[in-house]
Amino acid sequence: MGRGNYEMALARLTNEIIDAAIFGFQEQKKMLDIRIAELQAMRTGAKEATPEEAPSPRRKMSAAGRKAIAAAQRKRWAENKNNSTAPVKSARKGKRRLSAEGKANIVAALKKRWAAKKAAAKQ
C-alpha cells in the first residue's frame, strides 16, 4: 500500500469510527485489568479488589448539619424576598436622531465625492 492510499484510508475514518475504536479498546483494557488482578490474587493467595469492585466511601452528614444548612438557605431566601419587592428598571436612552446640520454635512460630502468620481471618469 502506497503512502497516498494510507492517507486516503485515514481520511475515511469518521469521528464515530474513532470513538467506537476508543470505546472498544477501553473495554478490552478493563477486562485485562480484571484478569491481571485475578492472577495476582491467585499468586499471593489473597483476594484483591478489582478496580470495578472498589466502591468509593459515601460521605454522610449529620441531622444537625442538614438543619443548619436548611436554616441558612431559608434565611437567604427571606433576605432576597424582602429586598426584591419591585424590580427596578433602568431608564432606556432615547433613539439617537440626526440633526439637520449633520444631515446637510453628509449630503455635501456625498455630492463632493460623486463630483470627484465623475471628474475622474471623464479623464
pLDDT tens digits, 18-44: 888 888 999 999 999 999 988 888 887
Residue 8 scores a pLDDT above 80: no
pLDDT at residue 82, rounded to an integer: 80
User: How do the domains of the chain map onto residue ranges?
Assistant: 1-54
- Compute how many other C-beta atoms are within 10 angstroms of the C-beta atom of residue 30: 13
pLDDT at residue 117, rounded to an integer: 94
Sign of CA dihedral 106, 111, 117, 120: negative
pLDDT tens digits, 43-98: 877 655 555 666 678 888 899 999 999 999 999 999 888 876 566 677 788 888 99
Quote the pTM value: 0.28
